[in-house]
Structure 1
């Protein structure tokens, strides 16, 4: 499982992890903390579903939200940075997307943006198009992808 592997790799590297989640509603943090002993690696998880919560809890800029919308790599980047800055963790993953139902022509159902901040402070962002596969499947896919990103970063 990706969560156990990510925890093991972070533990070996002496890293603490934070999560910043929107459309997954804490599923990444839940997957990590479901594993016994995770408290020595997991610092905290932020569930920032609303734009106001993203601003208040993570320091996402209202200008960024206005210019790009909540479902954007720009917001994912600021979410990841904010999670590290506010938690003291050295690695953070962020997730923001449209799990469905719904979406628009410009931001379709199943679009999820991820941010991952590395121990050196560099932030990588990417967007995955899961498609209109249903809310539960998009959230599960986004959770697995976020765990894989964590694993890749803590192993590097």
Structure 2
């Protein structure tokens, strides 16, 4: 795992520990990499409560309670599904802070409306509105982001969002 991700994960864990927050993740396109970055650090068990890897639509429905009708109406890669994933993980865990991520890492699967590199994030916390973030990771001219790079950028963004939610004064 890249040092940058592990160090950011440690900062996130430290901020959550200071606020006595337990965190959970609900991941689709990152396939558990967020949970992996967090648990790469010793002492993660003091903060990281659980991770849900819900790569398929059925897993999103079975594990997180995402309604099939929501997926049918908006697609698995949508703000609506990211929000439902985060709220489902919050309800089905003992965490007070949850991050969900769903997107298209490629190289296939993109469309004009939902291109490769599109990722939706949702941050859910007890008694707070859900924060929805949409990112489209696009390589600079002359470059093409690989699947690995899109997933890495999604994990990096997710860790920044968790850190910001846990310690807003730090401005990750």
What runs of 5+ residues in structure 1 fail to find an aligned partner?
Answer: none
What runs of 5+ residues in structure 2 fail to find an aligned partner?
Answer: 1-6, 139-143
Structure 2: distance between partners of 1:105 and 1:39? 41
Structure 2: distance between partners of 1:119 and 1:151? 16
Structure 1: distance between partners of 2:146 and 2:15? 32
Matched, 1:107 2:114: yes
Structure 1: distance between partners of 2:122 and 2:94? 17
Which residue, 133, 136, 153 being the options, matches 1:126? Answer: 133
TM-score (norm 1): 0.97
Instruction: Give 1 or 2 for the bigger CA radius of gyration.
Output: 2
- Aligned-residue RMSD, C-alpha: 0.9
Q: Deviations over 1:11-53 (max 9, x none)?
A: 0000000000000000000000010001010000000000000
Aligned pair count?
156
Shift in Å, 1:61: 1.0
Question: Is 2:99–2:122's contact at 8 Å kept on the other side of the alignment?
Answer: yes
Shift in Å, 1:155: 0.7
Matched, 1:5 2:11: yes
Structure 2: distance between partners of 1:30 and 1:80? 18
